Structure 1
Amino acid sequence: MSAIAYITNQEMIEFHRLNGNKTINFWRLGNTKKISFFKKGDLLFFLSKGTEKGKEKGIVGYGVFQKSMDLNIHQMWNQYKEQNGYATKEKLMEEIIRISKNNKIPKVLNCLYLKNVVFFQAPVYLSEIGVYISNKMESYMYLDKENITNTYRILKVAENVGSDIWSMQDEEKTKAQMEIDANYVVLKNIFEKLQCSIYTDYEKKKINKYIKNIKFSKKNIYSLSPYEYIEIKENKWILKIPCFVNTLDFQKKIQYLIGHCIMFKNQLEKTNIEINFSIEFVFNQMIKEELSEILQNSSILFECDDQLI
């Protein structure tokens, strides 16, 4: 799952919005339900109290998850200050005591660090895309559990609503980022649905190192996993799949990967979402002409990169 909607305190979210915070520490009580299936690059949407339309809360913005940490209150304030959502440490402590069951500050708080935070001009309601929240929901829900395009559709509604006055200071950049986030979450959901596990531990280490170097030398690189990535080039989304030619099981792997690519394209077509999309294999050495013809006939691009060693 690549996105969750989390019930949030209106005062805290309003503080972030009014201060134009682009990075925030989204803290949670230590005994709060653990979030599974939530990785770096996934989206956390703010389902804010105080925005109710009837009984339905509205989504007022989102951030991109970077890392999770467990910190005590002093560590949390020293590290993040106002990024915790309050102007002073005393105000923060008062709020933690207010919402804790025993009216005490927990020994540790779970901190979800978010970047590229965007707030909307007006709340977006999940019912607008045909999604309804269970009355039994405690703190959060996975948005794409039933339909892998839900997050995409939420962001498209939000694009029409517009970003708030602080985000509007760089409106074109914010809109472009929202479009990237919308497309990326669809591709990531498809990838996680299909999975792809053909690499040996040795190959994983080599590919992981290769992708880290690519990220360092190029812009617009987005990981789907530690071993496959997306490159955005001139508004075209290219799924890059590294592959080693000089292995004993290369023929078996390349057949698997071609089938995987066909399934990926099929799943994307089923969403009816128009993304300028292609797939490209990255080989560590030249391939035979026969395989080259097969890939071309399958509309799969390929290149040779000697950095993949």
Structure 2
Amino acid sequence: MMFKKSLLNFKKQLNEAVNFGRNVSFSNVSKVLVCGMGGSALPGDFVKSLFYPLNFEISVCRDYEIPGFVGEDYIVFCISYSGNTKETIRMYESLVKITDKIVVITSGGKIGELARKYNSELILVPAGLQPRIAIGYLTFPVINVMVNSGIVKYNLSTEVNKANLVLNYDFEKQGKKIAGMLKDTVPLIYVSGADNIIGLKWKISFNENTKIPAFYNLFPEWNHNEINSFENNPCKFTAVMINDKYDNEILKKRFIITKDLLKDRGLEVLSIDLQGRNKLSRLLFGISLGDWVSYELALIYRQDAESVPVVEELKKRLEE
């Protein structure tokens, strides 16, 4: 029930998070690096989708080692919801040796202590969620700092107010319906490059919440390789095609033709239309719907959507 409560409180989280990071800014910066793992790395992907096509440089580092290109024109965000992510702590300890333009976003933990020690900008967010559900708390501070630092022009409060309407959608009802259609299949999620964060988030939600394999790919790239794999298809897949009415006409045509080609080869194809008039609305709609679908499918499979037992076992073994 705790996980369901987190889903029900998503709109509340977003409206609370809109003020995080408003007092943080840097001068003489034009590029962004986001360092994190799992759900804590998603803010970088969210920002890429929100401001697509990009007119600034942003990279996401999911590793132990930092890239060699970081300079004084970068803002670096080190994000660890728990504050104890080993990879992110190691990246932070390397970064403080080369730049002081670092923002740590966390609910506490060791990286919070290190941020205080090295006088990095520290944005504390509420604890008690799984990182993959805390996307508002972790992402909105990144946007606010970027705006304050002159990298982008964006009125987050105004855009969130517009998004509130679409977030009143009955995600639970629709999530239950879609989950029933995905039962006993492997979901393959397909989105346009502009909506990359939605495809990635659906995949992660199925992996962690439902405990099943799931995969995603992007239009138009997957039309040049993966689509050919269904000529010899030994597995039971369902293609989930997430449509954005604001995609360009060429992409829309690709979606239609691809759907027919997959059906001709015996695949089940599920089409989902994103709702919302502004980009933030459509991204949040897609993410929220995916969370509810994965949760309802977890109930069907009698899985605890909150826990990640294999991840925890891996961490334990690494400590031995």
Q: Give the strand-richer structure, 1 or 2.
A: 1
Q: TM-score scaled to structure 1, two decimals?
A: 0.33
Q: TM-score scaled to structure 2, two decimals?
A: 0.32
Larger radius of gyration: 1
Q: Give the helix-richer structure, 1 or 2.
A: 2
- Kindly indicate whether structure 1 or structure 2 has the higher relative contact order, using CA contacts under 8 Å at least 6 residues apart: 2
